[in-house]
Amino acid sequence: MVLNFPHDDPYSALSAAVIRQAAHDMQKSIKHWNHDDEKIRDAARATYAECRRFLLSVDSPYHSMLKLDNDVYTRIVEQVEHSAGLHN
Amino acid sequence: MTDISYRLTITPPLSREEEQTCLCRAQYYNDENALERLVTSNYAYMVGRTKQIFATSNSEHSDALLSSAVFGMLIAINKFDLQLIPDVRLRSYATHWIDRYIRFGIIELTWSRYPRLPSNVRRLFETYKTLRKRHEHTTGRVAHHREILVDTDLQKYEDVFHLYVDPIALSLDTPTAHDDDDDGYLHERIAGDIPDVDGMLRSIDSESALSTIKQKLADMPAQMREILEQSYGITCPEKTLTEIARNNNMSRERARQLRERGLRSLKRNGIELSTR
């Protein structure tokens, strides 16, 4: 998933990278959602929950730096979950 | 719960502590005043979501969709588990529910396939749509969904339809004022100037956000901080991973790993910060 956020200063670029990393980690964690190894499965689900919580926590400093609409983050989460078939 | 709909008015956003107190009172003590505060403080946001998802000048639709949004917010307040997700604000959590109910409202109003819905729910609505048309053709009138569903395979989903197809009605003539002197109505609130509460919050946040990020960077291990600063050009011109690796006497892959670890570390700090 390609996520391009507009940024005009280094700190916004860093914030965009933190958000992108969270979305990337969330996408990766879904792949191990039903892993045979319980430890890997639990770790993946914990990562998923953490990343999702972070992406939707609109009052984090990184979200504030990017000054984007909350809807953007909701769509990212939806897109990741839909592409992984979590909603089916 | 629905009793509060007749006296909706806009109030300033609640602080995190106020919001949590109101949530506790609404969920555990059924405090209607707390519930009203939670809904009204997010009212401008719900109007914004309604306009964003279904941009139309048709006031009839705006009225019905706004009532769907309020219903979504009420569901979110009921479902929001403070102990499970203490660091998420109600508005973040409720966005999903508000959007969901607005989309169901759109389906009910326009029978459009425009909103994105899970395939199983969409199939349910498609079947319901066919049944409804058949019923209208037979009886020549619009019927309540319970009447349509009776003796059909969909009857077991009646609760779903009760929630999604019949949102609470909120007329444009709904009075929105508490005082008798002020005779305000919902349509005036929708048409009038709504304060940009989101914008105000964002501008306040962005001022402190920069200093918070700087502080978090300063607290990181030196090597990780330097790699992040060089990658995004914070204290020096932006560098590529290969350049960073060469400067720090490490492989490019190691530099990439440290950068990823640094970003994850910042993310975790972000979650901690948002609980304050």
pLDDT tens sequence for chain A (88 residues): 667 777 778 888 898 899 989 988 988 888 887 788 888 888 888 888 888 888 887 678 888 888 777 778 888 888 887 776 665 4
Instruction: Label residue B102 by pLDDT band (50, 70, 90).
Output: confident
Contact present, A56 and B204 (Cβ < 8 Å) = no
From the list A51, A53, A71, the residue facing B88 with the nearest CB is: A53
B95 lies within 8 A of chain A by CB? yes
A65 within domain boundaries: yes
Question: How confident is the model over B87-102, as a mean pLDDT?
Answer: 85
The whole-angstrom separation of Cα B112 and Cα B126 is 10
pLDDT recorded at residue A55: 86
A4 within domain boundaries: no
Against a cut of 0.80, is the pTM above it?
no
Write out the residues of chain A at the interface with chain B, using a CB-CB cutoff of 8 A.
10-11, 13-15, 17-18, 21-22, 25, 50-51, 53-54, 56-62, 64-65, 67, 69-71, 74, 78, 87-88
The whole-angstrom separation of Cα B6 and Cα B41 is 15
* Three-state SS sequence of chain B: CHHHHHHCCCCCCCCHHHHHHHHHHHHHHCCHHHHHHHHHHCHHHHHHHHHHHCCCCCHHHHHHHHHHHHHHHHHHHHHCCCCCCCCCCHHHHHHHHHHHHHHHHHHHHHCCCCCCCCHHHHHHHHHHHHHHHHHHHHHCCCCCHHHHHCCCHHHHHHHHHHHHCCCCCCCCCCECCCCCCCCCEHHHHHHCCCCCHHHHHHHHHHHHHHHHHHHHHHCCCHHHHHHHHHHHCCCCCCCCHHHHHHHCCCCHHHHHHHHHHHHHHHHHHHHHHHCC
Digit-coded pLDDT (tens) for B107-153: 666 655 445 555 666 677 777 777 777 777 777 766 666 677 777 77
Instruction: Label residue B210 by pLDDT band (50, 70, 90).
Output: confident
A3 within domain boundaries: no
In order of their start, the domains of chain B are: 2-116+165-195 (no CATH), 199-274 (1.10.10.10)
Q: Could you tell me if the ipTM is greater than 0.95? A: no
Number of domains in chain A: 1
Residue-range definition of the domain harbouring residue A45: 10-83
